[in-house]
Amino acid sequence: NGETVPLLEVRHITKLFGVFAACNEIDLKIRPGEIHALLGENGAGKSTLVKMLFGVLAPTSGQILWQGKPVQIGSPGEARRTGIGMVFQHFSLFEALTVAENIALSLDKSISLARIAEEARALSIAYGLPLDPSAHVADLSVGERQRIEIVRALLQNPKLIILDEPTSVLTPQEADKLFETLEKLKAEGRSVLYISHRLEEVQRICDRATVLRHGKVTGACDPRQETPASLARMMVGSDVASV
Ligand code: ADP
Ligand code: MG
């Protein structure tokens, strides 16, 4: 409901690359326990926006609020400590290392590898994304590699998990499994920011959608209350309204 303090709020955030505004005065509110879509065509500014939320890129201007309070997220480490986890579009995994070793690289050094492997295995089972912690990344499919990134994010117990175009590398069966995982995260009261340009996915799993076009918000809605044509219009403009 509208009274709840958003878990994350973005006010007028802008990212300039030279004179080009990849994100232009974007506003966004993510409520606790919702699956929120960030919908837009290639080049709309989706990845740039979430890189600012995860401390990978510094905003040119604008404000980020976490549970109603202004925050500076200067690095991925700060984002994780704030309670934000991220699954990137392009994974950063070391092929020659095992699943557990890859996860260990992003965690507190005081935790033993055996302990990390045990926790990763338990979490992967609990969330329906089974992983063998002793497997070498080089031997894993792209869907399995994505599971590593998801489990790595979940190990830090995030309140918000951001996934950037996760289904672009998945089979339809793997995508269905992922959607079940997202529903479980939601049932636990966590929020999900789900980036996609696929209308049918967004209408299937998302409670809210913020639509971007050319770096600007063109709509914020309940995607299930919209028609595919009305969502497409927000994404690409009025010229496709009849598609
Ligand atoms: P999306 O994720 O919605 O496909 P991006 O956020 O990746 O879009 O990109 C938005 C726009 O910003 C695109 O036109 C892209 O070419 C441009 N862009 C992204 N990153 C950079 C960068 N580091 N330098 C210059 N332009 C960039
Ligand atoms: Mg992108």
Q: What is the pLDDT of residues 14-27, one digit of tens each?
A: 999 999 999 999 99
- For residue 243, the model assigns a pLDDT of 44
**pLDDT 10s digits, 40-70:** 999 999 999 999 999 999 999 999 999 999 9
Total domains present in the chain: 2
Ligand 1 atom closest to 45 (CA):
6
Residue of 82, 58, 84 lying closest to 71 (CA atoms): 82
Which of the listed residues 48, 60, 194 should we mutate to test ligand 1's pocket, taking the one with most ligand atoms within 8 A of CB?
48
Where is the domain boundary, 156, 171, 203?
156
Q: Nearest C-alpha to atom 13 of ligand 1 is from which residue?
A: 43
Task: Tell whether 117 is covered by a domain.
Answer: yes
Query: Binning pLDDT at 50, 70 and 90, where does residue 111 land?
Result: confident
**pLDDT 10s digits, 168-180:** 999 999 999 999 9
CATH of the domain at 7: 3.40.50.300
Ligand 1 atom closest to 49 (CA):
6
Strand, helix or coil for residue 196: strand
- For residue 240, the model assigns a pLDDT of 54
Q: Are residues 73 and 163 in the same domain?
A: yes
Residue of 211, 215, 207 lying closest to 232 (CA atoms): 211
Where is the domain boundary, 156, 184, 207?
156
Q: Are residues 75 and 104 in the same domain?
A: no
Q: Are residues 51 and 121 in the same domain?
A: no
Q: Closest-lying ligand to the alpha carbon of 15?
A: 1
Give dist(CA 40, CA 210) in Å, integer.
9
- For residue 2, the model assigns a pLDDT of 52
Task: Tell whether 241 is covered by a domain.
Answer: no
Q: Rounded to the nearest whole angstrom, what is the distance from the C-alpha of residue 110 to the centroid of ligand 2?
A: 34
Q: Are residues 74 and 149 in the same domain?
A: no
Q: Which residues line ligand 1 (CB under 6 A)?
A: 17, 22, 40, 42-48
Residue of 240, 236, 242 lying closest to 44 (CA atoms): 236
Q: Are residues 108 and 74 in the same domain?
A: no
Q: Are residues 103 and 140 in the same domain?
A: yes
Q: Rounded to the nearest whole angstrom, what is the distance from the C-alpha of residue 56 to the centroid of ligand 2?
A: 14
**What is the dihedral angle through the alpha carbons of 166, 160, 202, 240, rounded to the nearest 10 degrees?**
-90
Give dist(CA 121, CA 116) in Å, integer.
8
Q: What mean pLDDT comes out for the span 84-96? A: 92
Ligand 1 atom closest to 46 (CA):
3
Q: Are residues 74 and 163 in the same domain?
A: yes
Task: Tell whether 242 is covered by a domain.
Answer: no
**pLDDT 10s digits, 146-166:** 999 999 999 999 999 999 999
Where is the domain boundary, 140, 156, 172?
156
Q: Closest-lying ligand to the alpha carbon of 51?
A: 1
Q: Are residues 139 and 169 in the same domain?
A: no
- For residue 115, the model assigns a pLDDT of 93
Which H helix or E strand runs over 234? helix 228-236
Q: What's the whole-number average pLDDT of the chain?
A: 94
Domain with 198, as residue range(s), is: 1-83+158-231
ipTM summary value: 0.99
**pLDDT 10s digits, 118-145:** 999 999 999 999 999 999 999 999 999 9
Q: Are residues 79 and 179 in the same domain?
A: yes
